[in-house]
Amino acid sequence: MMISRRIFLGTVLAGTMLASAPSWAQETFKVGVINPFSGPTALYGDEVTRGYELAADAVNKEGGILGKQVELIRGNATAPQEGIAAVEQLAGRDNVDVFIGTYLSAVAQAASEAALNYNKLYWDTNALAANLTERGLPNFVRSGPFSQSFADRSAEFITELVAKELGKQPSELKVWIEHEESIYGTSIADRQKEALEKAGVQVVGVGAHNFKAIDLTDSILRARDAKPDVYLNTGYVPDGNLLLRTARDQGFKPAAMVFVGTGDTKETLEAMGEAGVEGLYVVSYPRPDISEEFGPGSSAYLEAYKAKYNAEPLAPQSMAAFVGFKMMAEAVNAAESAEPEAVRAALAEFDKPESSYETGFGVKYNENAQNTRAFPTVVQWQSGKPVTIYPVAAAGENKTVKAAQ
Amino acid sequence: MSSLLNIIVVGLLLGGIYGLVSMGLNLIFGVIRIVNFAQGELVMLGMYGAYVCYLFIGLDPYLSIFIVVPALFLFGVIMQRFILQPLQNEPMMQIFATFGLLLLLQNVVLAVTRGQGYTAPSKLSEFVISVGPLNISVVRLVALVAVTAAALFLSWFVKNTMAGKAIRAVTQDRRAARLMGINVELAFMLTFGAGAALAGLAGTLLAPIYTMSPQIGGNFIMAAFAVVVLGGLGSVWGAYIGGFIIGLIEAFAGYYLDPALKTAIWFLVFIGVLIVKPGGLFGIAGAEEVGLREQN
Amino acid sequence: MSKTDTMSGVTSTRDEGGAVPPGITTFNTELLRIAGIAVALLAVTWVYSGDPFILNIMAQTFLFAAVSLSWNIIGGFGGQFSLGHGVFFAIGAYTTANLYINWQISPWLALIPAAILAALVAVAVSWPTFRLRGPFFSIATIALNEVAFVLANYFGSITGGPRGLTIPFKAGLENMIFTSRFHSVLLMLGFLVVCLIVCAWVFRSRLGYYLQALHLDEDAARATGIRVLQVKLVGMAISAALTGIGGALFAMYLRFIDPPTLLSLPDIGVKFALIALIGGVGTLYGPLAGALLIVPLESQLRAGLSASVPGANLIVLGAILILFALFMKKGIVGLVMQLWDRFGRKSQ
């Protein structure tokens, strides 16, 4: 029973070609979008997809992909088995040319493997789990930052900027690492601990919590007892807000609070009020308010978003998705094919410095097809606005750090 | 020592929240014997109700009680009349229907809001009472006071009013109650309405504490079931005290052991208590024996 | 196969409690029916063998049908409405994945320890919880599921914790990993047939009658000399063992497992029971009917309705479930029986 994958793929492809022969007369370049469109992360799945939609508009204006206009087809997946079903639907039925996604790492894991069965490219812009690129799947590319980028950026921010703000050497700095306990928070927190300790920072404790928890007073009290200078938390919106509230109620005021991943949206502002978030640092995807020198085109992106959706972007994830989609279009065009082998081979051509894209990303893929020039940025809440402050180039003029509470 | 005291206070305040979300469930589960999976969604509707009142008429969540609670009472009555009553003799299908309702309500709210995390701010939410090392959040204290008041009112109501007596009669033996001239269907409708109204009350009182999401009801429902069963089916004070027990266990396990393990610990304690005392701590002996057996 | 036979295949629910069924269906008759069902399902699979989208849905349908049938042994026949079968499902999945990843033991062999471990855990946790009845038992099993979730997340050395376990792609029959969805569907269909046979055997055995007796009236069953606890435990052990095998197949099909995937209540634990309820709880073929209806429906709704409005697929699914509960109170099998009563009998 040892059929090689290649032979199998041939037969499956032949089979699907026969099954859906008419759709080969397509005029468009079809991109299958795998994201959650129901369940607790539906908002972010939709927000990421908006980034793709805007990118598809932009790409279409410039001639599309492989000379065809781009068409997006959504596939809803909130769990790995649904990821497989979505790939079967989009590849088997709609005959998409490439896949793009994914807000959920577990879905990316299963869906990209299913896409390999069809020999389709799986381009990831937003999933964070490190092992997605480490497993060496031949059809997988990640153009955005991942858990390690978030962890390293937060560690670097603490040792460089926060330490300076507090007038301390990194070795005098005490940090409490808090994280939500699913793969997202855990993988970032593990790496943060490693990076901070390597820089000589004292990690005074690590706490895990469930993002659905009804009460997080215990987590806050444990952290408070450890008397950290910096409270570093990676989580989702509901638990992040509850932690902030509880910290306020319990009089826990570390010299600096750094949130990773969420906390820079109006969801947090509404929950805490202007005074409640003042001074809070958030390590997240680059926001459209970064300087034009750092992220050329970021303000045009913001205008395009507002024009299309009649609202401000809810979360910065969409701009990273926008840039990731453009990178995919460039890679496919450079390869002159949507075949995974061709695209992966073409990745080597890309070598753009940072600040080449709206998010301030550059592009340079490593041997696992991970973009090594995509990083999150850091904002600080200042008078009810999230202001990009780090890296300094992203901050632009007149944007300086305000002392924390 | 001060941290011990602090943890006790944290546990009691949390117990108030648990008690609050359990009161309605206790009524529905205890009297009508419906395992209402959608109870958490009723709490969620209460929270969004408070948000809607805040958004459109600028009402403080505590004032929106006067709109949200009657609205949910009505919603509960309708739900019982048109969905659950036709299934009165099919307890398993009732579970099924409430699960369908859970999906429906969660996702209607998701479709309307896109899933954005809203907060209904209250003027009270920033106030904290500090007594020595203790910090008591006023909004949580209000929840504790409210659940105490609700428990007092409910126990007075079922003991001293005609309607309350009818409810007790129906709980004990539907057939006999019917023979005594009690309109069982009406009693059920009112009870379910009251249970939904209590969920609405819980929702409005919790709105200033939590950032709401369409799925937030699911965070409360398991705890609420545990509280109700632990306290004893249909016992008002059982649910009240059950809430504090779960709250205290959670606070202690979270602080002294590990926040990541706290739910496992109180679930294990819950199962343990249930095995030793299948009727719950304050349940009427043998109430659990009735189980899902048909009653007409 | 006479018409009265068809009747009694599914009537031993509580409605007819003490009534003597008009004819006794034997295990052999059921085997014939199962063979018929298997051939029919195989034919459908064959028809769609070129459409991986449908094949993937079929694989999941057959798997959930099989596990729901297993659930039905204790949940339906025995009336012990467990919502914690996800625990046994997860045990099967983690056992097989660990044995395969760490010791390169073929999943086919790993099915045995997976089933045994699931059954042992089931007996250990059910021993005390079987003291509880009705909804109390259900709630306790939900609690077990929640405990299992926390533990699976916390003790990462076996489960991979929140990172989960990834099973490397090495196609081959001996690895139970197939490049073709068609072969996976055949595997799931095979498992479904095994579950059907076991269920039919239980249903038509002393054990099955005992289970149904204690479902109807536990006290009366005890009074007639049935060792209630022992019967429940045996039923639970068989049910959990098959569920564990189901979990193992699920793990090898997905090749990625983590706590939310295996221990999500709405997607796993509650779903087994829901499928049985839709089909007709406590009937022999109900769970199969339920799975054939609900799993494809769910998949099609997700594929067809998610594009514009978030959650639209689940709004429709929720509404369908409510309507279903209201208008098909006894499940699909119950409805078929009702129609049969109304129209079929007259023509006899």
Task: Clarify whether residues A141 and A257 are in a common domain.
Answer: no
Confidence of residue C169 (pLDDT cuts 50, 70, 90): confident
* Cα–Cα dist A139/A373, whole Å: 20
Confidence of residue B1 (pLDDT cuts 50, 70, 90): low
Flag whether residue B118 sits within 8 Å of chain A, measured between CB atoms: yes
Alpha helices in chain B (DSSP H): 2-27, 39-57, 61-79, 91-113, 138-160, 162-172, 174-179, 184-206, 216-231, 236-252, 262-276, 287-290
Please, what is the Cα angle at C117 between C111 and C118, to 5 degrees? 85
- Nearest CA to C330 among C275, C274, C278, C284? C278
C18 inside domain: no
Task: Clarify whether residues A56 and A170 are in a common domain.
Answer: no
Looking at this predicted complex, what is its ipTM?
0.91
Confidence of residue C24 (pLDDT cuts 50, 70, 90): low
Q: How far is A271 from chain B (nearest CA, A)?
A: 5
Of A195-199, B227-231, C140-144, C188-192, the poorest mean pLDDT is in B227-231
Torsion angle (degrees, nearest 10) of CA C220, C226, C227, C233 = -90
Mean pLDDT of C206-231: 90
What proportion of chain B, given as a percentage, has pLDDT over 70? 95
Beta bridge partners of A387: A380
Q: DSSP letters along A209-258, please?
A: E-TT-S--HHHHHHHHHT--SEEEEE--HHHHHHHHHHHHHTT---SEEE
- The tokens for B178 are 């019917």
Q: How many other C-beta atoms lie within 10 A of the C-beta of residue B289? A: 14
Hunting for tokens 């069809």 — which residue is that?
A118
> What total of structural domains would you count in chain C?
1
Predicted confidence at residue C347, as pLDDT, reads 55
* Cα–Cα dist A74/A37, whole Å: 9
Chain A touching partners, 3 or more CB pairs below 8 A: B, C
C333 inside domain: yes
Task: Clarify whether residues A131 and A200 are in a common domain.
Answer: no
Confidence of residue C38 (pLDDT cuts 50, 70, 90): very high
CB A232 within 8 A of CB A158: yes
* Cα–Cα dist C191/C253, whole Å: 13
Predicted confidence at residue A13, as pLDDT, reads 42
* Cα–Cα dist A327/A340, whole Å: 15
Q: Is the pLDDT of residue B205 over 80?
A: yes
C-alpha distances out from residue C222 to A38, C212, C308, Å: 48, 12, 56
Task: Clarify whether residues A130 and A55 are in a common domain.
Answer: yes
Length of chain B: 296
Confidence of residue C16 (pLDDT cuts 50, 70, 90): very low
Beta bridge partners of A230: A175, A256
Identity of the residue in C51, C255, C307 whose CB atom sits nearest the CB atom of A74: C307
What lies within 8 Å, CB to CB, of C143 at 6+ separation is: B222, B226, B267, B270, B271, C84
Q: Which residues on C lie below 8 Å from A76 (Cβ)?
A: 302-303, 306, 313
> What total of structural domains would you count in chain A?
2
User: What are the φ/ψ torsions at residue A28 (nearest 5 degrees)?
Assistant: -105, 160
C17 inside domain: no
Q: DSSP letters along C117-186, please?
A: HHHHHHHHHHHHHTTS-HHHHHHHHHHHHHHHHHHHHH-HHHH-GGG-EE-----BGGGTB-SSHHHHHH
Tell me whether strands A377-382 and A281-284 are parallel, antiparallel or unpaired. antiparallel
- The tokens for C335 are 């409805």
CB A319 within 8 A of CB A313: yes
The helix/strand/coil state of C41 is helix
* Cα–Cα dist C218/A160, whole Å: 70
Containing domain of residue A243, as a range?
A: 148-284+378-395
A16 inside domain: no
The interface residues of chain B toward chain C in range 136-165, judged by CB-CB distance below 8 A, are none
User: What are the φ/ψ torsions at residue A208 (nearest 5 degrees)?
Assistant: -115, 145
Q: Which residues on C lie below 8 Å from B290 (Cβ)?
A: 134
CATH number at residue C205: 1.10.3470
Beta bridge partners of A72: A31
Q: Which residue of chain C has the CA closest to B215?
A: C311
Q: Which residues on C lie below 8 Å from A110 (Cβ)?
A: 254-256
* Helix and strand element counts for chain C (H, E): 16, 2
Grouped pLDDT means (10 residues each) for chain A, 405 residues: 43 43 64 92 92 96 93 93 92 92 92 92 94 91 94 94 92 95 92 95 94 92 94 95 94 95 91 92 91 90 94 91 96 94 93 93 94 94 91 68 53
pLDDT tens string C190-213: 999 999 999 999 998 999 999 999
Q: How many other C-beta atoms lie within 10 A of the C-beta of residue B294? A: 10
Predicted confidence at residue C296, as pLDDT, reads 93
Q: Which residue of chain A has the CA closest to B136?
A: A249
* Cα–Cα dist A279/A248, whole Å: 13
| Alpha carbon of residue A226 to chain centroid | 31
Residue of A1, A4, A191 for testing the chain C interface, max C β-carbons within 10 Å: A1
Predicted confidence at residue B93, as pLDDT, reads 85
* Cα–Cα dist C99/B203, whole Å: 47
Beta bridge partners of B136: B129
User: What are the φ/ψ torsions at residue B134 (nearest 5 degrees)?
Assistant: -90, 140
Q: Which residue of chain C has the CA closest to A49?
A: C307
* Cα–Cα dist A34/A108, whole Å: 8
What lies within 8 Å, CB to CB, of B131 at 6+ separation is: none
Predicted confidence at residue C332, as pLDDT, reads 87
Q: DSSP letters along A111-166, please?
A: HHHHHHHTT-EEEESS---THHHHT--TTEEE-S--HHHHHHHHHHHIIIIIHHHT
Task: Clarify whether residues A337 and A205 are in a common domain.
Answer: no
What proportion of chain C, given as a percentage, has pLDDT over 90? 58
Beta bridge partners of A101: A34, A124
Amino acid at A174: K
Flag whether residue B115 sits within 8 Å of chain C, measured between CB atoms: yes
A400 inside domain: no
Q: Is the pLDDT of residue B284 over 90?
A: no
Q: Is the pLDDT of residue C76 over 80?
A: yes
User: What are the φ/ψ torsions at residue C172 (nearest 5 degrees)?
Assistant: 155, 145
CATH number at residue A166: 3.40.50.2300
* Cα–Cα dist C216/C193, whole Å: 28
Identity of the residue in C153, C274, C310 whose CB atom sits nearest the CB atom of B99: C274
Task: Clarify whether residues A231 and A203 are in a common domain.
Answer: yes
Flag whether residue B107 sits within 8 Å of chain C, measured between CB atoms: yes
A92 inside domain: yes
Identity of the residue in A5, A43, A75 whose CB atom sits nearest the CB atom of C179: A5
* Cα–Cα dist A244/A280, whole Å: 10
Flag whether residue C341 sits within 8 Å of chain A, measured between CB atoms: no
Please, what is the Cα angle at C303 between C297 and C305, to 5 degrees? 90
Confidence of residue B107 (pLDDT cuts 50, 70, 90): very high
The chain-wide mean pLDDT, for chain C, equals 87
Report CB contact under 8 Å: A80, C256: yes
Would you say domain B2-295 falls under CATH 3.30.43? no
Report CB contact under 8 Å: B128, A251: yes
Predicted confidence at residue A127, as pLDDT, reads 93
Confidence of residue C21 (pLDDT cuts 50, 70, 90): low
Identity of the residue in C172, C303, C311 whose CB atom sits nearest the CB atom of A1: C172
- Single pTM value for the model: 0.89
* Cα–Cα dist C99/C107, whole Å: 8
For residue A30, give the DSSP letter: E
What lies within 8 Å, CB to CB, of C138 at 6+ separation is: B35, B95, C81, C82, C83
A223 inside domain: yes
Hunting for tokens 């395009």 — which residue is that?
A304
C15 inside domain: no
The chain-wide mean pLDDT, for chain B, equals 88
Confidence of residue B123 (pLDDT cuts 50, 70, 90): confident
- The tokens for A139 are 């059809």
